[in-house]
Structures are given as structure tokens and as C-alpha cells.
Chains A and B, each alone.
Chain A
Amino acid sequence: MKTELLIVGAGAAGIAAALSAWEAGCRDILLVDRREKPGGILPQCLHEGFGLATYGMELSGPEYTDRITERLAHTGVRLALGTEVLKVRGDRTAVLSDRGGLTELHFERLILAAGCRERSIGSLPVAGTRPAGIFTAGQAQEMMNLRGQDLGREVLILGSGDLGLIMARQFVLAGKHVIAVIEKESRCGGMARNVRRCIEPYRIPIRCRTTVSAIHGEGRICGVTLRHLDSGAEELLPCDTLVTALGLIPDRELVRGLGDPDWLFLAGNCHRVHDLADSAVAEAETVGTRVGGELAV
């Protein structure tokens, strides 16, 4: 099989790149995502706060997704969902896998819009046991918002970036007790807007200059040792759930080792982590317009 333009990842960036490439004149575009629905991480972001720059109003993640996917329907971009891109080779072929089989695909240009992954607790040299009840923030968000799952009642959030703050609020709104947000730096890592909206109204303590030095619990987590980084003092904080927001890592696994070939382009969070979907989209539009123009018929 062949396609002019292969786009890996149908999140905000992949969709925006596809739309722009189409508008620039490329007529053979395949947009692939392993998920069953388009939008990437947006459908799990039920909070409002998307699209202020683009649409002049604040939309929820699903609303934002609807706006961009709706535009896709008016193009000839082919969307392959539930499809994993297993491999990208230097000879401009890719291997795709879905329930129907394996497909080897030749492409002219590739836009990687694969998003990012979360740093997990495993990457920190934390002492103690390895019990159940530890989730990354994005994972917790997916489980609560897309799967309707209840994770726990006494929740500690490790990391005060936007994701940590948004999840803190979400647990409170779900009727859970958020014990604290733990942050190793001397100030909160998230945007002021999110502190105002997610933390202050609920009086959630942000404990700066502290970190989790050990995890406790057989079976299920029952608490952590909190270390005060300045004094070295430690205290025990009981909890039944630990949510980690330790940062996002652009996911470029697929093109690792391929160097910087002239047919490869990066867009969205796999290029660099964007705080705002609008900014991921703007970047992807630039890439899409350029690549689409090169491939225009």
C-alpha cells in the first residue's frame, strides 16, 4: 500500500496537521491512531479551558475535539482508528497493525504527532514497597473520565504541574479527600489560572519543598513518607491513593535511531510539550501547511 502523507497520532496535533495539509493541496493523507476515537488525550479532559485562542471561548476537551474532527469530515483525509503503527523504517515504509491484519505502507512524508507519555513513579528512586493504588495523573484521568472508575478516597498528588492541579480538583469534585499536592520546588509548577481554579476554592494544601521519599503498604498503598527538602525532616502521611504528575516526555519512540531525514516532521506534544491545545494545533498547522504544499497536486 501507498500514501503520500502518513500522520501518526490523531490527537489535536495530528488532526490539525491533516486539515492543514489537505487545505494546502495534498489529496492523499492517512491519519492513524491506536485509540478507537479521535482526539488523543482531549476526550478525557472533561474540564473547560481549551480553545480560548482559536475559538475565543473556553471549551471542554470533548467539545474541542468535536470542533476539529467535524472539520475532518469535510475533507478526504482517511482516518484509521484502532490501528497501531508498529514500525517506521528509513526507506519510508511503515508497518501498521489492526484487527484486520498487518499492512506495510509506503509514504512520501511522515508527520509524527504521537503525543507524549507520562513519567512514572518507577523513574524516581523512591524507597518502600510497590503496592496497588498508584496512578499517573493522565491514567487516573482516563480511568475516571472515560471508564467511570472510582480510584480511591484519600488521595495524595505528587507534582504540582497543570495535570496534578487539574486532577486534584477532579478528585475533590468526585467527593474524595485530597490530602495535599506535593511539590519539590519552592513554588507551584502549574499555571496561575489552574491554581486559581483548581486549588484555591477547595483549600487544597500545596506542600512545596517536599517530596515522597518512601511508599508504604502491602497490597494497597496505606501512606507515604513525606520528606521536607530543606530540613530533611520526615513525616508519615496516610493515603489510599497516590497520583503522580511527574512530567511529560515527548514520545518519539517510533523514529528513534532514524536520525533527521528530510521526509520526517514532528508536531504537537511529541515535538515539545505544549501547555495549551491551541499551541499544539498552531504548531501542527504550520507543519501541515508546509508538508501539504510540498505534496500538493
Chain B
Amino acid sequence: MRGFDLVVIGGGLLGCFAARNLCRRQLHIALIEAREDVCTGVSRANTAIVYPGYDHKPGTLKAEMTVRANARFAELCAELDVPFSRCGSLMLSCGEKADAVLREKYKNGLSMAVPGLRLLSGEEARELEPSLTAGVTSALYAPTAGTVNPWELGIAAVENAAANGAELFLNNRVLGIRKTAEGYRIETDREVFACRAVLNCAGLYADRVQELLFPSEVHIVPDGADYLILDRAAANKPTHIIQYEPEDGGKGFNAVPTVEGSLLLGPSERANELDFAVSERGIDFVRERAAFVLPGLDLGELIRSFAAVRPNPRREDGSSIGSFVIENPAPGFWSMIGIKTPGLTCADELGRFAAEKAAAFLNAGPNERFDPRRRGIKKARGMSWEQRAAAVRSDPDYGEVVCCCEDITKAEVLEAIRRGATTLDAVKRRTGACMGRCQGSRCQQKLLALLARELGVPEDAVTKDGAGSEVLGGGRHED
């Protein structure tokens, strides 16, 4: 049995950032994740917006955290060496009802001191973003909105936590939790952990994990969402985040120019599905919305569609909950349940919040040696030619391009594997290889060979995203 001061359950954005912030204290931390990598759940599939903070009711934890998180975001990304694009956002309306919603949000924003907010006329909005529909009647411009790659951020946080002493246990699904005299005993499908305190960040399963030991007053009612990604070469891409507030009060729509240069469109909404499978209706919905909001966009430049799942928190009586839910069913046990938007924006804030509570309970002093800085994998793309030439001189692998769509070199792939990537998707998340227009048809086989060689396993043991997703031999068969 392994002993820790605190065990974090779940390696999504929240778990990774909780672990990072717990390392600011003198605490021996374990992060337990069921899957083969961190950030494969909700944190892998979302809208990637760093919100400015005008959406929530002033005075609530959500509103305050979002505004604070946004103000600190550039600094956070600099510490963690993660690209952040503060491209600004335009929330559009095409009618009087939605105009009123925008005015309300503008007022919210002013009272929360969201910087730089402006209400624009339709004409002004189109001046700022010529690709918009001519039907726009007003727009709320927020220059502080931005976008970040969510899994890149989560991976950076967990690497930083590990560098500061946190221990990461992948492929460990928590199956049981028991109360002991000293605290808690956590059983996974592989190991047993003893700890004084538990922080449950199990995402879509956070209610069930809490119910392994305590009742949960909050339940997650999942629903699905679909997204499309257009190639960076797509004509008439917007340069701001575009958010559409429909006149009928229905589901909004976002177009996000990602840090990779592609354009993310979505989401759709589907009821009651705990299923990361794309729906045809969802795709159609997103396409229709996109064609309406950004009429010049070439939807033929589609390179990928994917599904997400929203963990909607509900009370026993079925009513939905608007605020962040952080349950504390017993001393030394906290659960973050159903943290959806803006959980990405607030990941570090929520991590701090939880870490403060845990540190107070465990009476843990500050960790003077905590280093908030983490260095990312040095990317060839974006270097000046001089820098790139120097990189090749010091490591010839920087001269060898493996993924030609995204310009990713062998050196970056090898470094990702050294940092713990064991699957094709893990390499993809750490380097960006396979994310471009050919979707890996030219480089996946090279990544497979490199993974097999570096991990010292046969090629047919290499998986896309964990056991059961073997790439060769038709996958693993029962016979």
C-alpha cells in the first residue's frame, strides 16, 4: 500500500491543476487517473475559450473566478510555456431579443470590471470582422477573451506538478473508497492507496466516485455536443472568437480561431447521452449555424468532427445548478462535480481554491521550493530560421520533419515519448502531429514505429488511445 497526504482522483484539467496547486504546500500528493493519459475526458473536447467573465451573475464564485482567471491567464500560460491567443471575442445578435441579452451581459461585465468591453452596432462589428453575416444587429466585443489548447494546458500543469513532487498513477481506475482511522483508503484496479485527504475530480463520473463512500446530492446528467474543425487554409476565417446568441434563445454557437491556426465550430446540443460519438444531426446543426453566422466560410475545408460530453450538475429533484459545485461530504473529502464552462478558464483558480481548503485541513505549510515554471517541448514550427538551424545543429532530429502538415519534427516526437506519451493520441496531444489536414495518413505510421522503438514493444502492441485500440492486426481479438 502506498501512503500519501492527499490523493487527487481524475487527471482532467481540474485534477491536473489541483495537483499543481497542492504542490505549493508541503504535501505528498498522488494523482490517480483511470486512463492511459491525462486530459482524455471532458478536457479533451470543449470549446477552448478563455472567457472574459461577463456571462455570470455578478458576485457569484463563477463570475469572480472567471474575471480573475482571465486577468491572470497570460501569466499562467507564460509560466507553463503554453501558447495563448488573446484574440478577443465578438458576441453577436441578429434581433431585438438577443440585443437585450447582450446589453444585460454588457452590464454584468461592467459591474464585474471586465476590461475593454464595448457594445457595437452591427456595422461596427462587421468592420472589425468582415466575415460576419450582414444580419448582425449588435455585438458585444470583449478584447480580453482568448483561446488556449485545453489538453496542452492540462498536460503542462501535470508536468509541473510532477516536477514539484506529485506522483502520477495512470491506468488506475478507482473502484472503492473506504474510511480509515487515519483518513481514507482508495482501491484501484491495480493498487491500494492510503491518504489523509481526497480530492475527487473525476469529471463525468465525479458523482459516482463520491458515491463509493458518501451520498451525493448532486448528480451528473450528461448530454452530448458536436464540433467541426476546418483547415487553417479555409477562406474567410474570422480572427476573433465569434459567439452567436440566437434570437429564439436556443443553443448558441461559437467559432474559435485556435492556437494551432484551425477553426473550431460548435457545439451542438443533444440530450442525455454519455457518449463521445458524433451525431449526424449535431453536425448538420453546426454547419447550418456556421453558414448563417459566417456565410463566406468554406465548410468544404472540414478536416475533422468530434463529440464532447457535458457533465450537467442536477439536484435530486432534477433542477439544474448554475454555480460551480464543490462538495465536502466529510472532513478531508472534496468533490468537484459537474464543472462545465468555464472550467477550462478557471482550472487554475479552482485548483488553488481546492488546494487552499485541503491545505487548511491538513495543516500544511508552504513549499518554499515550489517552482511554477515548466518548459514545453521546443517546437520547430514558429522558430526563426536562425533558431531552427541552431536547433538542428544541437539535435539532428530537429532536421527531420515527421508530420509535414503541421511541421512537427522527430525531435519533438521523441521528447513527447520521453515525457511519458505511450500512445499515438498522447503523442498527438503533446506535439500536434496528426492534427492537420491529412489527419495522420502520412505520419501515423512513422509515429507508430518511433513509439514501438522507444517503448521497446512490438509495433502491434502500440495503441491509438489505450488497450483495445491497437493499430495493427485488426486490434486485439478474443480468440
Contact = CB atoms under 8 A, between A and B. Distances in A.
Do A and B pair up? The answer is yes
Interface of A: 34, 82, 84, 86, 95, 97-102, 104, 117-118, 120-133, 135-136, 138-139, 142-143, 147, 149-154, 213-214, 216, 218-221, 240-241, 256
Contacts of A123: 302-303
Contact of B467 (A98, A124, A219, A221): A219
Given A99-B392, A101-B392, A139-B444, A132 B464 contact: yes
Contacts of A121: 439
| Chain B contact patch, size range | 35 or more
Interface centre among A118, A121, A122 (most CB of B within 10 A): A122
Contact of B233 (A97, A216, A256): A256
A214 B463 CA distance: 22
A133 B448 CA distance: 13
A122 B466 contact: no
A256 B405 CA distance: 13
B283 A125 contact: yes
26 contacts: A34-B404, A99-B397, A101-B399, A120-B441, A122-B302, A122-B303, A122-B439, A127-B277, A127-B283, A128-B277, A129-B276, A129-B277, A133-B474, A135-B441, A138-B441, A143-B445, A149-B472, A213-B280, A214-B280, A216-B277, A219-B465, A219-B469, A219-B475, A220-B468, A220-B475, A220-B476
Nearest to A129: B277
Interface string B395-425: 0110111001001000000000000000010
A82 to B, nearest CB: 7
B400 A99 contact: yes
B388 interface: yes
Given A101-B399, A102-B399, A241-B474, A125 B441 contact: no
B304 A152 contact: no
A223 to B, nearest CB: 12
A147 B445 contact: yes
A82 B401 CA distance: 9
A197 B327 CA distance: 67
A84 B474 contact: no
B208 interface: no
A147 B452 CA distance: 13
B460 interface: yes
B472 A125 contact: no
A243 B465 CA distance: 19
Contact of B278 (A86, A95, A127): A127
A131 B392 contact: no
Nearest to A220: B475
A153 B474 contact: yes
Contacts of B477: 240
